[in-house]
Structure 1
Amino acid sequence: MIEKIAKEIIKHFPRDHKEKDPFRVLIATVLSQRTRDENTEKAANKLFRIYRSPRELAKARPENLYDLIKESGMYRQKAERIVEISKIIIEKYEGKVPNTLEELLKLPGVGRKTANIVLWVGFKKPALAVDTHVHRISNRLGWVKTKTPEETEKELKKLLPEELWGPINGSMVEFGRRICRPVNPKCEECFLREHCKFYNERY
């Protein structure tokens, strides 16, 4: 049943990642931390119009990026991380983004969510990115009973086949923004309410 519901979420809330280049996916995901998609897209577009490769970004000074990525928020910290990540990719990985979770997690500012998005979107590897939406919705539906996104990732991997790991993140994010919101979820509009632990306990 969980697999069937996951497929319905993916069907109703499809999300296509336009950018596939691993480096650009990585940097855009760093920019996306604690900000909205539209702000991430604006900042990433401005940044990549000027700096087109890790080599160019590795030579930049963080303050050169401030105005370009300001809309993403926390721009000083993000600028430092982006330059540092670019330097490491040039010096340690010969200009190519590493394609394993272990190596990605060694990069500054890269956590499991970011690393898993890069693996799935940039490398088409089975990877399950769990952010606040995925964590919240999985618990609300009653799929898992977990306290942290990392625990949720571990449990969902047991419940879902590999081919759904990648797509479920983007679809749950959309579902979480439009229907299963953090505050005042639109339960009456939700096509999953009959299968939802939160709804059945609440109503």
Structure 2
Amino acid sequence: MERSLDLVNKGPVMLLTGYQTPAAIRRAGARRIESWLRNRKVRGVAALARTAVEAAQAQQTALPGETLAAAMVVRLAKGVMALDEEIAELNALIEARFREHPHAEVIRSLPGMGTKLGAEFIAATGGDMDAFGSADRLAGFAGLAPRPRDSGRASGNLRRPRRYHRGLLRSMYLSAHDWEVLSTS
């Protein structure tokens, strides 16, 4: 089952909340599983049901702890689905809170900045751009601007700063990467 189903998607995880063992899947058959999944608003039910039944047909061996493992799988699958719902709710809260910020539209207009990166940017800067004074100071705070280390006759000796805000640097690099990906495609 694990090899044939992609447990990252919602459909296979939903399948595991109802059918865990190969024997139960073989007993139910593709049609019953298909209608069960369709009632739970899963997409691609025909292919998923067919794949599950084929995997169950290939495994005829019943293990001694199969019923206990099936009960644990149900709990884990329901926990994963609850976490997915909670993540979706938190993302909606973050997006709503970000849109309330007075500079949200300006930040979203920056190349590569979306809602999540914009929220990270506001969190890293404290939401107040006047605190930096200039773009150079913001770049220095983010660790994007090199620091001069001149001494005596040596000048133009630039080094990477050792102290900088790693969260702000991350949001800047990710936005630049997103912009690069968008501009090349």
What is the TM-score when the length of structure 2 is the normalising length?
0.32
Structure showing greater Rg: 2
What is the TM-score when the length of structure 1 is the normalising length?
0.30
